[in-house]
Amino acid sequence: MKPAWTMTDFLEVKENVLRIDQISAAELARNHQTPLFVFSENRIRSNITRLVNIATVIDCKLKVCYAAKANSNLAILKVIQDAGSDIEVNSGGELYIALKVGFRPDQIIFNGTSKTENELAEAIDAGIYAIQADSVFELELIEKIAGKLEKRANVSLRLVPEIESDTLHGLQTALLTSKFGMMPAEALDAFRRWRPDDRLLNLCGIHLHIGSQNPKPEPYERAFVALFENLLRIHQVTGHQLRHLNIGGGFPVNYLRDDSNSSEIADEQRALFSANLDPAEIIRNAWQAVKKSAATTDSLDLIKDIELLIEPGRSVIGDAGICLTTVRNKKTRPIDQNSRGIERVRGQTAGRVGPETGKTHRSSARDKDTWLLTDAGFNSLLSMETYKWYYHLVAAERADEPHQTPYKVAGPLCDGGDVYFDIEGKKRLPDYRDLPENIEVNDLLAILNCGAYSLSQMFPYNGRQLPAAVLIDKKKAVKLIRTRQTYEDLLSNQIFPID
């Protein structure tokens, strides 16, 4: 039987070796060393197509603006643009990158809480589709800069209408307690203040983003209806007829397609990681709810020509990226008598019974833990530390063998938190990772589904050079899209010696 993590024509196993778009993971690691990020152009394209096709289930225009923060590698952005997506940026740097890749200004929207005058000037000067203003202060700043440049800025207002999602607290962004956006009442005042024919500010839309990896569809419906209610009120009170509604991103990736190693994860966390929603269904239902509200308020005219914007990041690039890592060290340790490990030794259930297999972790007469120390830690995958994110682990050159031997797995950093389990014992991650028996130093492991918020968040802590990345293009050619940093690169930006 095929492992549950395989995906036809993308992640497969041949002669016991993981193949990504038919290219052997072992060969990739041999040619480019590890840690190595591997991206699939075909997978990115099919993810974009799925999102662009949302347009077929709603009767309004759709603008897909990929959230560059999820991964802003130039070659990847080019694929994303070519596949039919526009772009959302979050800083002058991302704006610069987007323009460099060749996104037209009308394909770009610009979010962010702390934009500088220079960043705003660059966006206004380029004439982008919309700057998403985070506060009334920022609106005044945009007006001032637009005046200096003698240009009219397209602006939409980011709202926080207190919509809760079941994602992690740190990933929620439409709550009053989050740092983003403005209150609906403040937005209404702004629309009163800057009239539709204002010379400097073209207030053309409203925006909200409920959070990332939202496991349930309902918050989208509530968010969409809240956007519509604001649109209606703004029209009634100020006469503004908005051109777009922006519902943000947050469509989840199913990180637990193979849930064989998830029995120890706390239920809430497991529900989050295994979320499997269809974006088209979410948006279709939310759009229906909006139309219903519009019909009851006799305001269908107001949404007749509306454009719907979405800002997906994770759902575009998350499952299109794999990190190959090598085991660099191995050791054994007596099992901590206070940890769950001891339960395994005694042959008892270590946590809950696995949901699909019904199996518990089998235990041998083990009195020791085996530790594997890899070359990819939270310097390469920051969310493994910040959010205790679960990424499934596969032995890349023994991919067909039973993954049933528990290991403690950790990264290379001189930091006790650089581990693939939840050191605080909150069960946000499994204590052990299941791999084939007798994993040795130099064995290759693959960390799946880690294309989002990895390359864009990595850092050279401990003098560890940032990893290389390759893209397997649509013709199955392997293209280097990011070189591994050199020791010299570690010195860039440093001034030495000083006089």
Give residues in contact with ligand PLP (CB under 6 A): 67, 70, 88, 111, 173, 209, 212-213, 248-251, 311-315, 452
CA dist., res. 456 & res. 72, Å (int): 6
CA dist., res. 327 & res. 377, Å (int): 12
CA neighbor of 54 nearest in space, from 69, 43, 65: 65
**Alpha helices (H) in 38-73, listed in sequence order:** 41-52
Extended strands (E) in 264-382 = 307-310, 321-334, 368-374
CA dist., res. 152 & res. 147, Å (int): 8
Min dist. Cβ of residue 258 to ligand PLP (A): 21
CA dist., res. 32 & res. 11, Å (int): 19
CA dist., res. 113 & res. 47, Å (int): 28
Q: Which is nearer to ligand PLP, 41 or 94 (CB)?
A: 94
CA neighbor of 91 nearest in space, from 83, 99, 102: 99
Q: What are phi and psi of 64, to 5 degrees?
A: -90, 120
Q: Which is nearer to ligand PLP, 35 or 318 (CB)?
A: 318
Q: Which is nearer to ligand PLP, 85 or 213 (CB)?
A: 213
Q: Which is nearer to ligand PLP, 87 or 350 (CB)?
A: 87
- CB burial readout 210-235, b (16+ within 10 A) else e: bbbbbbbbebbbbbbbbbbebbbebb
CA dist., res. 46 & res. 50, Å (int): 6
Min dist. Cβ of residue 492 to ligand PLP (A): 29
Min dist. Cβ of residue 50 to ligand PLP (A): 13
Min dist. Cβ of residue 20 to ligand PLP (A): 22
Provide the CB-side half-sphere exposure for 138 (13 A, CA): 27
CA dist., res. 408 & res. 424, Å (int): 15
Q: Which is nearer to ligand PLP, 251 or 407 (CB)?
A: 251
Going by C-beta distance under 8 Å and a sequence separation of 6 or more, which residues neighbour residue 414? 462
Q: Which is nearer to ligand PLP, 157 or 410 (CB)?
A: 157
Min dist. Cβ of residue 208 to ligand PLP (A): 9
Min dist. Cβ of residue 397 to ligand PLP (A): 31
CA neighbor of 279 nearest in space, from 356, 224, 331: 224
Q: Which is nearer to ligand PLP, 35 or 313 (CB)?
A: 313
Min dist. Cβ of residue 464 to ligand PLP (A): 25
Going by C-beta distance under 8 Å and a sequence separation of 6 or more, which residues neighbour residue 243? 204, 205, 305, 306, 307
Min dist. Cβ of residue 212 to ligand PLP (A): 3
Q: Which is nearer to ligand PLP, 88 or 397 (CB)?
A: 88
CA dist., res. 346 & res. 308, Å (int): 57
Min dist. Cβ of residue 327 to ligand PLP (A): 30
Q: Which is nearer to ligand PLP, 10 or 110 (CB)?
A: 110
Q: Which is nearer to ligand PLP, 212 or 261 (CB)?
A: 212
Preceding amide of 497 cis, omega within 30? yes
Min dist. Cβ of residue 211 to ligand PLP (A): 7
